[in-house]
Chains A and B, each alone.
Chain A
Amino acid sequence: DIQMTQSPSSVSASVGDRVTITCRASQGISSWLAWYQQKSGKAPKRLIYAASSLQSGVPARFSGSGSGTDFTLTISSLQPEDFATYYCQQANSFPFTFGPGTKVDIK
């Protein structure tokens, strides 16, 4: 199985801050990666697919980059509704695996 790691595990930030979350795969996955946002008690919501493609309807302040083993999710200017947990997921091979999550909370 491909193992996914994320850093940091949590980050405290203020509205307007730039936030960067890193995801690393245990082996190369090309661009087969997605990012999800999950708010408390809700289902995950896909933000980014194919490492850098923005899901329709998702604000442009979210962006993804990377390929191979190292990926980044950036929120350019954090908004109040962005406080949530973020997960990466590899789609390179079965079984699909998720990172452990990064919680973004209010500083």
Chain B
Amino acid sequence: QLQLQESGPGLVKPSETLSLTCTVSGGSISSSSYYWGWIRQPPGKGLEWIGSIYYSGSTFYNPSLKSRVTISVDTSKSQFSLKVSSVTAADTAVYYCARHDSSVWTFDYWGQGTLVTVSS
């Protein structure tokens, strides 16, 4: 059974960089059929797609965040990562990593999510 697990600091100071890692187990991150994505959800609000990456390193970003976001992949560790720079309180959210396939482009496996709070 595929599992995804987010890890990283739960508290980040304003203007600093938020960094999270998603570890994939029970399946191959290098499968040609899937992309790996990040989605976030501010407390009490809806879902926002941040971006996705293919095992080769090809990326797609949400234009609303593109200038501040970097997603990378390390296939040797079965991990992919998210960095969001210059964070503000508006970046406070539960961050999810998830898998989506390259045929129907929707998210079939999700991590449990991790709350990141931006505060001094």
**Cβ distance B114 to chain A, nearest Cβ, rounded Å:** 11
Category for how many chain B residues contact A: 20 to 34
| Interface of A (DSSP majority class) | loop
A50 in contact with B104 given A44-B47, A98-B46, A98-B48 (CB within 8 Å): yes
A43-B112, A44-B110, A49-B106 given as contacts; is B47 within 8 A of A95 (CB)? Answer: no
Given contact pairs A91-B104, A97-B49, a sample of 16 additional A-B residue pairs in the complex whose CB atoms are under 8 Å apart: A1-B63, A32-B104, A32-B105, A42-B112, A43-B98, A44-B47, A44-B96, A44-B110, A46-B106, A95-B61, A95-B62, A96-B62, A98-B48, A100-B46, A101-B46, A101-B47
Cβ of A100: which chain B residues have Cβ within 8 Å of it? Answer: 46
Nearest Cβ distance between residue A61 and chain B, in whole angstroms?
A: 20
Q: A32-B104, A34-B106, A89-B106 are contacts. A43–B113 as well, Cβ < 8 Å?
A: yes
Q: Does A99 contact B (CB under 8 A)?
A: yes
Interface residues of B in 61-120 (CB under 8 A from A): 61-64, 96, 98, 100, 104-108, 110-113
**Chain A interfacial positions (CB closer than 8 Å to B):** 1, 32, 34, 36, 42-46, 49-50, 53, 55, 87, 89, 91, 94-101
Distance in angstroms from B48 CB to nearest chain A CB is 7
Q: B105 touching A96 by the CB < 8 A rule?
A: yes
Would B46 and A87 count as touching, CB distance under 8 A? yes
Could you list some 9 contacts between A and B, CB below 8 A? Answer: A32-B105, A34-B106, A34-B107, A42-B112, A44-B47, A87-B46, A91-B105, A97-B49, A101-B46
A46 to B112 Cα, complex, angstroms: 14
B49, B61, B98, B105: which has the most chain A beta carbons within 10 Å?
Answer: B105
Known A-B contacts A43-B113, A44-B110, A45-B110; A98 and B47 likewise in contact (beta carbons under 8 Å):
yes
